[in-house]
Amino acid sequence: MPWRIIMMAITAAVTCTSATFALAADGMRSLAHTAGIRFGTAVNVEALGTDAAYSKLLAREFDLVTPENAMKFSVIQPERGRFDFTQADALVAFAEARAMQVNGHVLVWDQQLPDWLTQGHFNSDELKAILREHIQTVVARYRGRVASWDVAAEAVGEDGKPRETFWSRGIGPDYLALAFRWAHAADPQARLRYNDYGGEGAGAKSDGIYTLVADLRTHRVPIDSVGLQMHVSLNDAPRPEDVRINMKRLAALGLQTDITEMDVMLSLPTSRAALRKQAVLYGAMLQACLTVPQCRSFSTWGATDRYSWVPEFFPGQGAALLFDASGHAKPAYWRIKRALRTEVSHKR
Ligand code: G3I
């Protein structure tokens, strides 16, 4: 469906909803709010304009949204110097109309980069100028409207060493520090985050991320938080206790943490036993976040199995999220809700 039609549908939804929007008392977001954390999800912006049930579910359950793809480099700057904010604007307007916070994703990453950039054979100074313009143009546009940014993602390898990326090859190891400083200059109020996967608990990668962000702090780079992505499966997930310990040591550096992209992929077709185990894992990771005051938010990488990256990237796997493809809540949803209710009752 042409973007113009999708945009009209989203704008219409925004206009009508903002007048009638009321916080659904039974949604997860109000409970999470009372428990003291933001409850978030990645959003497929294309579906916002075409799937009314999806928009309704998002507004009822979540008070924090991250664009799954709409703010990535190749989408925002498809040609050098030509910025396309159509999708990003749509998401920010959708969120504002529903009192949701927006997390921008992602300014510096080595995937979803446009060909003009990766095949441009730019030298280091040219690449610095390009990255600076990109970051400052994007962050300045949403100054005061986007609360936090994933400034950089996935710059540490499985061995804990800095990964060689398009940006580290082109600019050098200081590209990360430069990116955080440029983002901070463009919006000094925005919370700036380093976001990664596979380093949520203990191990070489977790230590590598710790060393990286500790070094940034030592050099007074304006970083506020570390995002723990948490893309896991039933047989491949960190121990919740190790996640809690990791969050604590990051807090000792003066850093907040967020669970940013949780999903628990299951082998298809799923079974009741697998769905129960999935619920236990979601509940345990939420609990880890609730026990660390510096853990500010808990987000899943998508709201419903209808829009999930997992089946495309992991054939035979799926059913990774809190709502099934028909929008029905799964055992994991109720498990999380129960954990939040317990937390709220303790606060009273
Ligand atoms: O938009 C194009 C469309 O025009 C084209 O017709 C279609 C067919 O090739 O591709 C579409 O682009 C796809 C894009 O998602 C939007 O749907 C890309 O091929 C596809 O690779 C891209 O996948 C995204 C992936 O990041 C890219 O690596 C996933 O949706 C997204 O969920 C995933 O998210 C990442 C986070 O940003 C960072 N952390 C890990 C996470 C999972 O990989």
Ligand 1 neighbourhood includes 212 CB (under 6 angstroms):
no
Q: For ligand 1, is residue 110 a contact (CB within 6 Å)? A: no
* Pocket test residue of 1, 6, 66, 68 for ligand 1, highest count of atoms within 8 A of CB: 68
Nearest CA to 92 out of 132, 130, 38, 149 is that of 149
Return the residue whose CA atom lies nearest to atom 29 of ligand 1.
Answer: 309
DSSP E strands in the chain: the ranges are: 38-43, 64-67, 101-108, 148-153, 191-196, 225-228, 231-233, 256-267, 295-300, 317-318
Q: What is the Cα–Cα distance from 183 to 220, expressed in whole angstroms?
A: 14
Q: Are 210 and 250 in contact (CB under 8 A)?
A: yes
Q: How far apart are CA 149 and CA 134, in angstroms?
A: 14
Interatomic CA distance for residues 175 and 215, integer angstroms: 14
Q: Helix, strand or coil for residue 156?
A: strand
Strands 148-153 and 191-196: parallel
Measured from the Cα of 309, ligand 1's closest atom is 32
Radius of gyration of the chain (CA): 19
Q: Using CA atoms, how far apart are residues 305 and 318, in angstroms rounded to an integer?
A: 7
Is the link from the previous residue into 269 a cis peptide, with omega within 30 of 0? yes
Tell me the pLDDT of the chain (348 aa) as tens digits: 455 555 555 555 544 444 444 445 568 999 999 999 999 999 999 999 899 999 999 999 999 999 999 999 999 999 999 999 999 999 999 999 999 999 999 999 999 999 999 999 999 999 999 999 999 999 999 999 999 999 999 999 999 999 999 999 999 999 999 999 999 999 999 999 999 999 999 999 999 999 999 999 999 999 999 999 999 999 999 999 999 999 999 999 999 999 999 999 999 999 999 999 999 999 999 999 999 999 999 999 999 999 999 999 999 999 999 999 999 999 999 999 999 999 999 877
Atom 42 of ligand 1, residue of closest alpha carbon: 309
Verify whether residue 154 is a known catalytic residue.
yes
Instruction: Determine if the pTM surpasses 0.85.
Output: yes
**HSE, side-chain direction, 13 A CA sphere, residue 303:** 29
Residue 122's CB is within 10 A of a number of other CB atoms, namely 18
Catalytic residue among 46, 61, 154, 200: 154
The residue whose CA has the least distance to atom 34 of ligand 1 is 68
User: Tokens 């921008």 sit at which residue?
Assistant: 104
Q: Which of 46, 200, 261, 343 is catalytic?
A: 261
Q: SS3 for 279-293, per residue?
A: HHHHHHHHHHHHCCC
Residue 343 catalytic?
Answer: no
Residue 82 bridge partners (DSSP): 79
Contacts with 42 (C-beta within 8 Å, 6 or more apart), sequence order: 65, 66, 67, 68, 105, 261, 299, 300, 301, 302, 303
Q: Strand locations in 243-282, DSSP E?
A: 256-267
Total length of the chain: 348
Q: In this structure, are residues 149 and 107 in contact, taking their beta carbons and an 8 Å threshold?
A: yes
3-state secondary structure of 297: strand
